[in-house]
Amino acid sequence: MVETIETQNNNIIALRIDGTFSEADLNPLIPLMKEKLTHLSKLRLFVEYIDMNDFTLDTLVEVLKANFGNLSGFDKAAIVTSTDWLSEAEKLADNTHGLNLKTFHFSEKPQALSWLEE
């Protein structure tokens, strides 16, 4: 399941992902992101990943690449997840050319949002 999270900053797209998800779950968000990019030069991505039964954040990266051309519309991404999966999430950085990606533990959620707002 993918749901959006409200933020105070217009250039941050915030998502909560619980369990496995597919491209179909993300497709409704693409028009929102494209609309924001007509007014903003770059977007930032905040992902709160809850359930780690099937690590599928690479799906998110692939969907964004397919719709935004090598993630050129994004400059930062923060993934908030559990300690066990921090190292797995950091492996995504290899597939996010030019995107500054950092991972944070759930206890560091405020720091993740602060980092995105810098």
CATH code, domain with 98: 3.40.50
pTM: 0.78
Q: 39-90 pLDDT, tens per residue?
A: 998 899 998 987 655 556 667 777 777 777 667 788 888 889 876 665 666 6
Cα distances (Å, whole numbers) of residue 90 to 8, 35, 80, 101, 105: 26, 28, 11, 8, 12
In the chain, the amino acid numbered 97 is H
**Looking at the 3D structure of the chain, how many domains does it have?**
1
Domain that holds residue 61: 2-117
Percent of the chain residues topping a pLDDT of 90: 24
pLDDT of 60: 74
Is the Cβ–Cβ distance between 47 and 80 less than 8 Å? yes
